[in-house]
Structure formats: C-alpha cells, structure tokens
Amino acid sequence: MRSFVTNLLERFARCIPLSVYPAFVRRDIIAFFCHAVSDEPMEHVRHLYPVVPVAQFEAALRYLNSRYNLISYEQLHAHHTKGAPLPSKAVHLSFDDGFAECFTVVRPLLRKYDIPCTFFIATDWLDNRAMFYRNKASLAIQRFGESTNTERSEIFTTLHLRFGITVDSSSFVPWIKALRLPDEAAIDEVCRVLGIDIPAFLRERQPYLTTAQIRQMDAEGFTIGAHTKTHRKLAALSDAEIESEIADSCRLVREITGQEIVPFSFPHSAFGLDRSLLAGIRSRHPFIGLLFDTKGLRCDVDFIVNRIWAERIPSPKVGGGPGWGGYSLPELLHAAYQDAWVEGVMGAARKVKHF
C-alpha cells in the first residue's frame, strides 16, 4: 500500500511544472555539487561518475549566473547562525573530493565569472600522499577493458586463491565497483596484476590538490571544507571513528587555511547517522561549520544543508539546456523538487499516523 501511494505521488509530482514548485516547496537556498571537470582523460574518475566537459561546465555557470544569485559559504553560514538575509534565488556551488582539476580547470572559470565556491577535500589524499580506493578501482576497470585474456585469467586465479573470490569477465566491473575500504587489498592486488603502479600514478599524475594550491584558493576567496580523512561511509563506523573523521579533517583544513570555521560534507551521504551525535560533535569542536549532505532539496536539521548532485541523471528522459555531464540543470532541479515534495507529503502523513 505504501509503495502504491508513493508511486502515485511521484507520478503526480512529475506533472507539476518546475515554475510552480518554489511557491509551495519553499527553500532559502539551492545547492549544487560536482566532482570533476576536464577535457582530458581522468581514468581514475571516469568509471565512477561522469567527468564534465569544460564547455558544458562553463555553459552551466553562465546559466546559473544569469538566473540565480550565487552566494558564498560565508553568506550561507551567516544566514544559518545569525539569521542574515539571503538574496532571492540563492544558489551555492561546491565540489567534493579535492581533485587537482578543481585548481587547474574549475578555479579559473569560477574566477572568470566571479562565482564563489566551496571545495571539500578528503585530507588523507592531500599532496597525493595516498589514493582513494575507488579511484584505484576506476583505473583497474579502465585497464581491465584493455587487458588480454591471459591477464584476466591471472586476475581471476589470484583473487580466488588469495581472497576466495570468484569473478569472471562479465561480473568483474560490478564486483570491483561494489568494494569498500576494507576490501582495498583485493583492489591493490588487481592493480598489481594489471601493471598499475599506484605510487607512480600519484607521483606523476598528481590527481589530488596540494597544500600550496589550497592555500592559494583560500587566498583568492574560495572556501575550503573537509570531506573526512579517508572518505569512508560514516554510518558504518563507531561514534568515536565518526567524530575523528569529521573533526580531524576539519582541524587540518583549519591549520592549512587559518579559517575560523570549516564546513564539512559527508562522503556518500549522512543517511543512518544520528543527528544528535552530529550535533554533539559540532558542540565539542566549535570550528566545525555547517554540514553538507546529498539529498537534493530535502529538509534536515538546521545545521545540515542538502545539495543536488549535479552529475547525476535524474530520470531516463534528459531535457535540453545547459548542465553538467550533458544533463539539464532545470531537469535536475525539477527532479529535486519532486523528491522533496513527495518526501514532505509522506513525512506529514507519518506524523498524522503517529499523532
């Protein structure tokens, strides 16, 4: 019954024009986030989510700049903590993960259009000291597609003998994409067999931001935030580990930039995290600013700002117009409004039921 009602609401929500939604799904801020922009191959990213071409990203910036008011993190923080007013149609832009292209590609375009932005970095990867396990997996997928049958047989045999894992050519990609940090040894072994030299890649390609780049971006007026130390899914960790991932990464950013307040974005999402635990962490570490999640336009506690994942395709039908990764920004926004409206209606129904 619940599924039937939800499906009915979702169908009705799709019929409501985007222009109507702001009147009854009121939000002070719309936030978009992205990961990577480049015209160059990013083999460590391309099998995880789309790498946005530069021309499409610039077109999206022009679109946002002409129709919305792009605001800084400082404006957003003052609004949440002091009640400072925001301009109408306020939009905040951010990037997660801290890839080097944030400095070399994204930053010059933002400066060209005078657009503020917040960059959230996973601090263990800073200065290319380590590589994200999922970036390793993307490299492995790329190389696997180019590998010989002999190399593939060696991978399958090694995984079975060392880890008791059985995969074949058809199941390899979904298998390695599903792995998490505790499975990193298996990813490393695949990379070894495929001839991927991770230390050399970090040294020569330098896929992540450096301390010097972050300091320059901060000096130019951009906001630097934290994205944990290791990019682990926080809901799977103990309370102490969650606090360490959030507080220690924010503290390091603060040490680098001198910011009094450091915002934080959740890897994956904040789903399953106790909001009272998060409030306690912020209380014990007052340099932690607002927390940013990935649930579009849904409401949350007052210190969490939800964002629209701009690289995601919201539905099988992709509309026209400027966007990230070829996807229409109006369609992304429309899908976020639909989701928020349905969630709001279902939330109200749950409250009535438990009244």
Q: Please report the sign of the dihedral spanned by the C-alpha atoms of residue 161, residue 134, residue 131, residue 274.
A: negative
| Residue where the block lists tokens 């301390």 | 211
Q: How many residues does the chain have?
A: 355
Tens of pLDDT, residue by residue over 212-259, are 999 999 999 999 999 999 999 999 999 999 999 999 999 999 999 999
Q: How far apart are CA 201 and CA 207, in angstroms?
A: 8
Tens of pLDDT, residue by residue over 260-292, are 999 999 999 999 999 999 999 999 999 999 999
- Domain locations in the chain as residue ranges: 26-130+208-353, 133-202
Q: Superfamily for 26-130+208-353?
A: Glycoside hydrolase/deacetylase (3.20.20.370)
Tens of pLDDT, residue by residue over 32-54, are 999 999 999 899 999 998 899 99
Tens of pLDDT, residue by residue over 185-219, are 999 999 999 999 999 999 999 999 999 999 999 99
pTM summary value: 0.93
Residue type, 76: L
As given in the structure block, the two tokens for residue 69 are 């008011």
316 CB contacts (<8 Å, ≥6 apart)?
none
Tens of pLDDT, residue by residue over 9-33, are 999 999 999 999 999 899 999 999 9
Reported as a pLDDT band with limits 50, 70 and 90, residue 328 is confident
